[in-house]
Amino acid sequence: MSTLVTGIAELVTNDPEAGEGPLGTLADAALVVSGDHVVWVGAARDAPYADTRVDVGGRAVLPGFVDSHAHLVFAGDRAAEFEARMSGTPYDGGGIATTVAATRAATDDELRGHLRALVEEMRGQGTTTVEVKSGYGLDVEQEARALRLAREVTEETTFLGAHVVPPEYAGRTGEYVALVTGPMLAACAPHARWIDVFCEPASAHAFDGDAARAVLSAGRDAGLGLRVHANQLSAGPGVQLAVELGAASADHCTHLTDDDVDALASGTTVATLLPGVEFATRSPYPDARRLLEAGVTVALATDCNPGSCYTSSMPFCIALAVREMGMTPAEAVWAATAGGAAALDRGDVGRLGVGARADLTVLDAPSYRHLAYRPGVPLARALAI
């Protein structure tokens, strides 16, 4: 069963050889989907026969957004903490313990219902691939439960037992790292593709470079890919550790030294920027322009979580990246699609060419430029074919 999608005013392929500019855009385009995959892309006038037809009526079509950093398995609400921050209380990661307590007390069905609602909320804004981390259970059973639930909605599951040191291990970080790298990893690895750590010496609740190295090394030995929460609150060791260990992504990258930028430019690690966090913690934004000019691969993601950034909207992050981080609209759209795919080491999403997954996002607008040009307007949604 094949479907012709036509009436596309502007198609973003992310293949510079298929169309104009770095996004490989095609005007008056069409594509054909068979099963789950794209089997033809080109000018609408050249479109081949297909069994059915969807006319998007002169709208833009993009690869679905790839949100490569999200924390969606949780319970509870931290709106009061947000309000306190906007009244001058600084963010230091300490509020995570509030979510841990609420998450531990929730039933599977409560967590599942909330998780699925967030994934639907994301699809309604154009996101078709989402990475989901654990990290609000922080004991063996609770972390494994979070990952089992996450696996119900995505293949991109990440074990984040090393999110913060839980209250019952306060002052005993070494013992907690031994738990994370031992029994917790053994219970979680079967449900995870990735391992992650909040490497932040500037937070009393997170992990220093040595602890982060221990967590990532154990994860790698268990067959997991590596990701790092790096350099969010200070120019710590996270970015260079991520590059040294060949992590797929270093996330946040808000405070970078020249050596950090050089390391990212010379390695294979993607710099994933999360501008919703700086928005919601009223912090300085990362300098995307500096990274792009150094030749670093940049991704954009939401970091959707109940504490430091409770947005599920990739279009909002694109608008912030353009307005506040020196990215062009095309660079931001690339980072939210192909960049996210690179950060997840995926070749089948983040692009629309033959062989790609048929993950299409349609805009109620004629061009991708409207994502930044019309901030806050609900233009994007995943197209059900």
Answer for the pair 309, 302: CB distance below 8 angstroms, yes or no.
yes
Instruction: Count the site residues for Zn ion by CB under 5 A.
Output: 1
**CA distances (Å), 56 to each of 5, 11, 31, 99, in order?**
7, 11, 11, 41
CB of 203 to Zn ion, least distance (A): 12
Q: How far is the CB of 163 from Zn ion (least distance, A)?
A: 8
| Shortest CB 317 distance to Zn ion, Å | 13
Q: Look at residue 197 and give its three-state secondary structure.
A: strand
Shortest separation between residue 160's beta carbon and Zn ion, angstroms = 8
CA distance 129 to 363: 17
Identity of the residue, 56 or 288, whose beta carbon is nearer to Zn ion in the bound complex? 288
8 Å CB contact between 300 and 321: yes
Q: Which is nearer to Zn ion, 6 or 254 (CB)?
A: 254
Rounded to an integer, what distance in angstroms lies between the CA atom of residue 188 and that of residue 256? 32
Q: Which residues of 326-356 are buried (b: 16+ CB within 10 A; e: fewer)?
A: bbbbbbbbbbbbbbbbbbbebeebbbbbeeb
> Is residue 260 at the binding interface for Zn ion, with CB under 5 A as the rule?
no
Task: Return the number of the residue (19 or 307) whose C-beta is nearest Zn ion.
Answer: 307
Residue nearest to Zn ion (CB): 303
Q: Is 156 in the site for Zn ion (CB under 5 A)?
A: no
Tell me, what DSSP letter sits at residue 44? G
Least separation in angstroms between residue 92's CB and Zn ion is 14
- CB nearer Zn ion, residue 10 or residue 303: 303
* CB nearer Zn ion, residue 252 or residue 351: 252
Question: Strand locations in 114-239, DSSP E?
Answer: 127-130, 132-133, 157-162, 194-199, 225-230
Of 268, 251, 235, 260, the C-alpha closest to 317 is 251
Coil, strand or helix at 72 = coil
Return the number of the residue (23 or 320) whose C-beta is nearest Zn ion: 320
SS3 category, 276: helix
Q: Which listed range, 3-11, 58-66, 218-226, 300-308, lies at the site for Zn ion (CB under 5 A)?
A: 300-308
Helix (H) or strand (E) segment spanning residue 191: none
In whole angstroms, how close is the CB of 165 to Zn ion at the nearest point?
A: 16
Task: For the CB of residue 379, give the shortest distance to Zn ion in the complex, in Å.
Answer: 26
Residue closer to Zn ion by CB (options 81, 303) is 303
Region of 30-38, 185-193, 255-263, 299-307 interacting with Zn ion (CB under 5 A):
299-307
| Run of H or E including 27 | strand 25-34
> Which span sits near Zn ion by CB under 5 A: 82-90, 301-309, 340-348, 374-382?
301-309
CA dist 358 and 372 (Å) reads 24
Counting contacts by CB under 5 A, is residue 303 touching Zn ion? yes
According to DSSP, the β-strands at 360-363 and 52-63 are: antiparallel
* Residue span binding Zn ion (CB under 5 A) among the ranges 56-64, 210-218, 220-228, 295-303: 295-303
200/303 with CB nearer Zn ion: 303
Query: 67 vs 303, which CB is nearer to Zn ion?
Result: 303
Q: Least Å distance between CB 232 and Zn ion?
A: 8
Q: How far is the CB of 330 from Zn ion (least distance, A)?
A: 26
Q: Is 316 left (phi over 0), alpha (psi -120 to 50) or beta?
A: alpha
CB of 70 to Zn ion, least distance (A): 8
Candidate segments 23-31, 84-92, 140-148, 303-311, binder of Zn ion by CB under 5 A: 303-311
Query: CA-CA distance, 146 to 54, in Å (whole number)?
Result: 38
Q: Which region among 84-92, 236-244, 297-305, 360-368 touches Zn ion (by CB under 5 A)?
A: 297-305
In Å, what is the CA distance from 38 to each residue of 5, 31, 44, 128, 138?
10, 7, 15, 15, 41
By beta-carbon proximity to Zn ion, the closer residue of 260 and 303 is 303
Q: Contact residues for Zn ion (CB under 5 A)? A: 303
